[in-house]
């Protein structure tokens, strides 16, 4: 009877080892779940960035106001009969 109890105890220990640290054990599963969560967060950020870029492209395609705003901000362009003022801060 004692041999059976020892055998069952050893079997439980082996099963517990496999459950926690074996191939595809709980430790590895937790690590993979963390990696999945990090990748999903990154995917969400990139998806939002893509939506913003898509909206900007649509703005540029449909209206001249967006093109004008871009030309004024990025290229420093001014309309005829406008005066351009540049403020320089002292260092």
pLDDT band at 48 (very low <50, low <70, confident <90, very high): very high
Q: Does any domain span residue 25?
A: no
Q: Is the pLDDT at 53 greater than 90, yes or no?
A: yes
Q: Does any domain span residue 83?
A: no
Query: Residue 70's pLDDT is what?
Result: 77
Give the Cα separation of 7 and 13 in Å (integer): 10
pLDDT band at 54 (very low <50, low <70, confident <90, very high): very high
Q: Does any domain span residue 16?
A: no
Could you tell me the residue range of the domain that residue 71 belongs to? 30-76
Number of domains in the chain: 1
Q: Does any domain span residue 72?
A: yes
What are the CA-CA distances from residue 31 to residues 16, 21, 25, 40, 45 (Å)? 18, 12, 10, 14, 22
pLDDT band at 87 (very low <50, low <70, confident <90, very high): confident
Q: Considering Cα of 65, then 66, then 70, then 73, what sign does the dihedral take?
A: positive
């Amino acid at each position: 009877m004692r041999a059976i109890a020892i055998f069952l105890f050893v079997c439980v220990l082996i099963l517990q080892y496999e459950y926690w640290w074996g191939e595809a054990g709980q430790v590895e599963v937790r690590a993979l779940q963390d990696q999945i969560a990090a990748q999903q967060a990154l995917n969400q950020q990139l998806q939002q960035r893509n939506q913003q870029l898509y909206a900007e492209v649509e703005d540029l395609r449909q209206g001249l106001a967006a093109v004008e705003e871009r030309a004024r901000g990025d290229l420093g362009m001014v309309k005829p009969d406008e005066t351009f003022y540049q403020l320089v801060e002292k260092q």
